[in-house]
Amino acid sequence: MESRISGTTQLIGIIATPIRHSISPKMHNAAFSKLGLDYAYLAFDIEQSQLEDSVKGLKAIGARGFNVSMPYKTAIIEYLDELSPTAKLCQAVNTVVNENGKLVGHITDGSGLIRSLQDEGYDIRGKKVTVIGCGGAGKAIQIQAALDGVSELSIFNRSAERGQQVVDLINKHTNCKATFYHLNDELALKEQLADSYLLINATSIGMAELEGQSFISDSSVLHPGLIVCDIIYNPRKTKLLQQAEEAGCKVMNGVGMIIYQGAEAFKLWTGEEMPIDYIKDVLDLK
């Protein structure tokens, strides 16, 4: 196959660890090729100690931008020049655009997940949603859900301080009622899931070294009619989703979210709409 790389090709990438599982390079490079755009997307496995130098390096070589994944969505902020309004509210970034030497951070995780839910026919407006995890993606999802009309959010997290900060932010800036619970509070989880429309896992429990694990120890807390979404997309079916299927729940993984958050990032970098249907075919998602 003829290479698209030339002396004018602009670099876009993703920084995270681990990163070998990422479908972002395949997705974006397929979209660039389909639309005839002169960009190339690469994955960079970056350790915490390398984060600052990596950002400076990407800026120095004139990279058009890059995605940021776990565990750097919050840590990346101090190395950027500016944040979009939503990223500033979320204090998390998953997309960086190099605007003439100025690195601007954006967050597309929340809107990406909402669009993937809509794609499956799920409407969260006026509903109660339970979310596990307040990391960069979790916080973005919670804030976007609140902004998009969720009536009630039950937020579970290991760190009480971080969880309460997100709850206070949502209660102050949106019309959604948010409440914090500790992740180890199994009784609270059971009570909150009883009348929830949707459960979202926004943690890394179930992937990489945590593959095969779940924060659900008693599957009886899951009930038919509950929608269970795990933002992890590798493996496609986590332990949580297996438990949910066995309990009669509707399930979805993070593949749709990664496509739609990627589509928003794609437009920020290129000004073009990502060919969503084509990408679903490329990734064998139809």
State pLDDT tens for residues 173-231: 999 999 999 999 999 999 999 999 999 999 999 998 899 999 999 999 999 999 999 99
Q: Which of 59, 73, 127, 239 is catalytic?
A: 73
Global pTM reads 0.85
- Per-residue pLDDT reduced to its tens digit, 75-116: 999 999 999 988 998 988 999 999 999 999 999 999 999 999
Residues at the annotated binding site for shikimate?
22-24, 69, 94, 109, 233, 261
Residues of the binding site for NADP(+): 231, 254
- What is the 8-class DSSP label of residue 10? E
3-class secondary structure, 235: coil
Choose which CATH entry (3.40.50.720, 3.30.70.1340, 3.30.230.10, 3.40.50.620) describes domain 110-253.
Answer: 3.40.50.720
Of all helices (H) and strands (E), which one includes residue 83? strand 82-83
84 contacts 106 by C-beta, under 8 angstroms: yes
How many residues are there in the chain?
Answer: 286
Q: Assess whether 73 carries a catalytic annotation.
A: yes
CATH number 3.40.50.10860 given to 10-107+258-282: yes
**Could you tell me which residues are annotated as the binding site?**
22-24, 69, 94, 109, 231, 233, 254, 261
For CATH 3.40.50.720, list the domain ranges present in the chain.
Answer: 110-253
Alpha carbons 24 and 194: distance in angstroms, whole number: 35
